[in-house]
Amino acid sequence: MKKIEIIAPSGAIEPSLVHTAAQRLQSWGFDVRIAPHALCQYGRFAAPPADRLADLNTALHSNADYLLCARGGYGLAQIIDQVEVPESGSPTIIGFSDITALHCLMGHAGRTSIHGAMCKALASDADADSRSAEALRRLILGEPLRYQLPAHPLNRQGKAAGCLRGGNLSILYSLQGSPYACPVSEGDILFIEDIGEHPYAIDRMMQNLRLSGMLSRIGGLIVGQFSDYEEDPRMPYSVYEGIRNMVEHYDYPVWFDFPSGHTDFNMPILLNAPCQMQVCSTDCLLTF
């Protein structure tokens, strides 16, 4: 039986969502535990930094198979430099948004993690949430992960194979220049998504990835969902067009509108794991 522990290393969450998510996981046959401070609230945070850190470090050294982060929000930057990743073997992290900091840390440690649905989606009966949750269930049970989806007009065709890195663009940007920056090596494939950012801010963050050399090192780019923003009429291009312009001088494949991010339809992907992407004129394929 798979063991899953629910932790809250970042923002506070309504306890009922955690309990409902736990019940759903149990109905799938998983053994579920809830970390001691996962249901607490300390302002906008789930608990004071020391308590969130204690829960996370204890869980990383436990016999759990997976650590499901209750939600994102903000908070991991306060403790990421004190997280103790075991030298060998540790539960697989599940989450997105602020949890990107943990994905990057796991990447430095050579551990695969899952960018996927958290407690709110698992507690919901909405169709898109349920489809995302079901995809996560299949992944946890070991089913192969494969996506074949229609092409987007801004895509650039091609093939790439490499380790998939990335997550939330704002978090990737905030970690740049630190020991916890996304560990992108030559030929890796980068995934990005974000929520509620002004188009000029997205452009600024992408310029950072360009100026730092990250965009020149990668072998492929997957652009997920950019949600809850309005296009800026003073910008001469849309958000997606701006990202496409940013990588115009590179020759790797680019895939837009991948169904992962801060949207109800948030399909899981494996980070820090080898994958293959193929972008064609009619469809795109991602396999792990």
pLDDT score of 29: 95
pTM comes to 0.96
Angle among Cα 42, 173, 67 to the nearest 5 degrees reads: 50
pLDDT score of 129: 73
pLDDT score of 37: 98
Spell out the residues 6+ positions from residue 238 whose beta carbon is closer than 8 angstroms to its own: 199, 231
pLDDT score of 87: 87
Q: What is the pLDDT of residues 33-62, one digit of tens each?
A: 999 999 999 999 999 999 999 999 999 999
Q: What is the pLDDT of residues 120-152, one digit of tens each?
A: 999 988 877 788 899 999 999 999 999 999 999
Rounded CA separation 39/42 (Å): 10
What's the count of helices (H) and strands (E) in the chain, helices before strands? 9, 13
Strand runs (DSSP E) across 72-203, as ranges? 92-95, 113-115, 146-150, 158-168, 189-195
